[in-house]
Structure 1
Amino acid sequence: FAGVPGVYRQMLKYGKPAPSDFGVLRHGLMAGESPPPGLFEDWEACTKTPLYEALGMSEISTYVSSGPGVARRPGAVGKAQAGRRITVLPLEGGSAPLPTGEEGLLAVHRSDPGLMLGYWQRPGEEAQVYRGEWFVGGDLAVIDADDYVFHRGRANDLMKALGYRVSPLEVEAVLTEHPSIAEVACAEVKVRADVSVIAAFIVPRPNAHPDAGDIERFAAARLAAHKCPRCIVFVDALPRTANGKLMRQALSLPNGFSTG
């Protein structure tokens, strides 16, 4: 069974599945966005079936994953699937792979049999995704010495703060550890024509009443100053597509929101 993390969250919340409901299920597979803390453990405890993660895109389907033959590693999506060649290229350009452990753009060798033939009648866009022998889909990642891939988000989702590039996934991973937060998504928002800041859009846990100041202090104790959100926005739900994937570009400050 495959789905985005939100599908698994909703099944656990409303479906209350039992092991007897999954007698023929071998395992579950998640893709589409970063899973929240505890989802793997909650699913496996409830259904007695393993849950794995994958990374993919329309141009190549899934190409990195964990699974029965690739044990999960905390924070990692998994490894390149059998027969696929991947590497990490510099964000600024070039086709020379980065050293192990350095963050950059995840790339797939263009000889991959699962890779698209091209973008129909869009030669300009097609030229932008190829660097020499590599296809670059826009995902940021680190590959460790054991070939595990750690996804750092989409390059076009990077937030700029005090001259630094900041991945929203890094900030979200910290904030989701707060006991009053059920879900969180971060984005760069404009507070003035020439000023942008990091904002955290937070769905509180049921019966929780989180305080913006407390969350700011929580973040400050765990993140570098330039990575801390300057705006805390409480919302009832995060914007998502019909299949449950986060619509990060739809995040915006509500009318009249004061940034202090």
Structure 2
Amino acid sequence: MLPPCPAPFNMARHVLTRGAMTPQKTALSVVGAQGAEDWSYAQLIAAVRGTATGLLQRGLVPGDIVLMRLGNTTDFPLAYLGALAAGLVPAPTAAALSAPEVAKLIEVLAPKAVLHDPQVPCPEGVATIDLSELRMMHALAPAPWHMGDPDRLGYVIFTSGTSGNPMAVMHAHRAIWARQMMFEGWYGLTGEDRLLHAGAFNWTYTLGTGLMDPWTMGATALIPAVGTAAADLPALIAQHKATIFAAAPGVYRQMVKDGKHLEMPALRHGLSAGEKLAPATQAQWEHATGTRTFEAFGMSECSTFISGAPSRPAAAGSLGAPQPGRNVAILGAAGPVAAGTTGVIAVRRDDPGLMLGYLGAPEQTAARFQGDWFLTGDIGVADAEGFITYQGRADDMMNAGGFRVSPLEVEAVMGQAPGVTGIGVTEVAVKTGVTVIAAFYTAAAALDATALERYAQDNLARYKQPRLYIHVPDLPQSANGKLQRRRLKAAYEENNHV
């Protein structure tokens, strides 16, 4: 079991404590075709603590929220940790957001300042601290760590907004302490590792798995330079002796689509999160690299808490098991259900990684709980060994003749049909009051619908078989690489005037 978070506590101090013991070791290397930009732990810690000094000198005080409008550069994690070191509350956001979208977030956050790269959209008229000023702060004298209650507000992140408007998720400083459960429960991470994350600096998956966690262990983080394509990653992994690789499923699909052998001698395994990794992609990766992938399931409100790991690989078809120390259950209307029974995946209220709540939205926070359990909104079923099979979002589930069908189940099967390179399955309306299961697929050219129907008949129960097969040039994805089934549904119904 994970011991209680110590008090007083500061998240940034916790992340950088082990690195301070090896000051000349490379903490971060931004790698690309033009070489590498390296930061030692000594340089990293000095820049973080100098940033903390500079932010306080600007009149900000502990507890103030600062909105982050920074690009895909090292400035992002330095400012993030600098704010935390000073006791401020950073709110990282995706650089791709438009100024009107950011204006809505500002209404929710009421930030005291905006840390701003002029190249990143931001509404006019808000108080900003410019990127050039942030960079000058690196050389300032180090601020003392702001120590305090580990349950105090540490940072705010926004949900993806797939179910409506994005919600501002409040996390305590102790959230970083809880991430230790991932080190053995998912990563197999040690201080000697070199972890290459394929994502951008300003994505929370990269910020946690790609930076904060390796630094907490005193390991080396590798981040691809801006403009690096998926096809370039194997060479970078090999050249920079990456031992662990992390990415979203979409990146894995791109890396293995040509069926070539990928020579990465130092690599032990890969990590995947963000959406379900298709079994076909997993098999292609294993064939191409000779290494396994370990998948994790989580969310903005609790990071990842179910996973496979080198020490405990997931059962076939499952996401994995609750990480050691986690309290996870499958819930029905009356509470936790028995193994083999489908229900909502839930996390117990006392999990140290669980959010404090939604900022300014106590009713929405309360609505996510059933007694002592936080409801994820995702459907799953656990076996007798505790391995959980994911069946999709509750609002993604399809209804076929009275049967509830997971799109993931249909995608896993039809994604292996000859000629199919990618697939998204959802329920669409074909006329008022009539819906069917539709399979939207990518392929080199449109495939014979009859052949697809025969494949479905041979591999799926009748009620799970798609009634429509639609060839599309590509599948819509979010900025984080998640398949957006709702966009497929909306586009079909709009084009067909349903």
41-50 or 125-134, which deviates more: 41-50
2-structure distance, mates of 1:172, 1:256: 23
Q: Structure 2 vs 1, CA of residues 124 and 17 (structure 1 numbering), >3 Å: closer, same or farther?
A: farther
Task: Report the counterpart of residue 438 of structure 2 in structure 1.
Answer: 199
Structure number with higher helix proportion: 2
Task: Report the counterpart of residue 237 of structure 1 in structure 2.
Answer: 474
Select which of 448, 452, 455 maps to 1:211: 448
CA contact (8 A) 1:77 1:151 kept: yes
**1:34 CA displacement:** 2.0
Task: Report the counterpart of residue 256 of structure 2 in structure 1.
Answer: 12
CA contact (8 A) 1:59 1:115 kept: yes
Within 5 A, what are the aligned runs for 1:54-65? 54-65=296-307
2-structure distance, mates of 1:13, 1:174: 18
CA contact (8 A) 2:280 2:412 kept: no
Q: Structure 2 vs 1, CA of residues 225 and 47 (structure 1 numbering), >3 Å: closer, same or farther?
A: closer
CA contact (8 A) 1:106 1:140 kept: yes
1-structure distance, mates of 2:420, 2:454: 14
2-structure distance, mates of 1:38, 1:255: 31
Task: Report the counterpart of residue 424 of structure 2 in structure 1.
Answer: 185
**1:154 CA displacement:** 0.8
Paired AA for residue 251 in structure 2: V
Q: Structure 2 vs 1, CA of residues 136 and 254 (structure 1 numbering), >3 Å: closer, same or farther?
A: closer
What's the TM-score, normalizing by structure 2?
Answer: 0.48
2-structure distance, mates of 1:155, 1:171: 16
Q: Structure 2 vs 1, CA of residues 179 and 131 (structure 1 numbering), >3 Å: closer, same or farther?
A: same
Contiguous gaps of at least 5 residues in structure 1: none
CA contact (8 A) 2:248 2:272 kept: yes
What's the TM-score, normalizing by structure 1?
Answer: 0.88
**1:254 CA displacement:** 6.8
Q: Residues 82-129 of structure 1, C-alpha deviation per residue, up to 9 Å, x if partnerless?
A: 100111112xx33x2111111111111110000001011112221221
2-structure distance, mates of 1:45, 1:199: 30
Corresponding position: 1:72 with 2:304: no
2-structure distance, mates of 1:211, 1:14: 23
Corresponding position: 1:41 with 2:280: no
Q: Structure 2 vs 1, CA of residues 229 and 38 (structure 1 numbering), >3 Å: closer, same or farther?
A: closer
2-structure distance, mates of 1:210, 1:137: 37
Paired AA for residue 249 in structure 2: P
Q: Structure 2 vs 1, CA of residues 16 and 180 (structure 1 numbering), >3 Å: closer, same or farther?
A: closer
Task: Report the counterpart of residue 339 of structure 2 in structure 1.
Answer: 100
Paired AA for residue 139 in structure 1: D
Corresponding position: 1:136 with 2:375: yes
**Which structure has the larger Rg?**
2
Q: How many residues align?
A: 252
Secondary structure of the 1:170 match is helix
What value does the CA root-mean-square deviation take over the aligned residues? 2.3
Secondary structure of the 2:423 match is strand
Secondary structure of the 1:181 match is coil
Q: Residues 200-232 of structure 1, C-alpha deviation per residue, up to 9 Å, x if partnerless?
A: 10112x3x6521122123212332322221111
Q: Structure 2 vs 1, CA of residues 257 and 219 (structure 1 numbering), >3 Å: closer, same or farther?
A: farther
Contiguous gaps of at least 5 residues in structure 2: 1-244
Q: Structure 2 vs 1, CA of residues 200 and 33 (structure 1 numbering), >3 Å: closer, same or farther?
A: same
2-structure distance, mates of 1:232, 1:18: 33
Task: Report the counterpart of residue 246 of structure 1 in structure 2.
Answer: 483
Task: Report the counterpart of residue 53 of structure 1 in structure 2.
Answer: 295
**1:164 CA displacement:** 2.2
Secondary structure of the 2:454 match is helix
2-structure distance, mates of 1:100, 1:18: 39
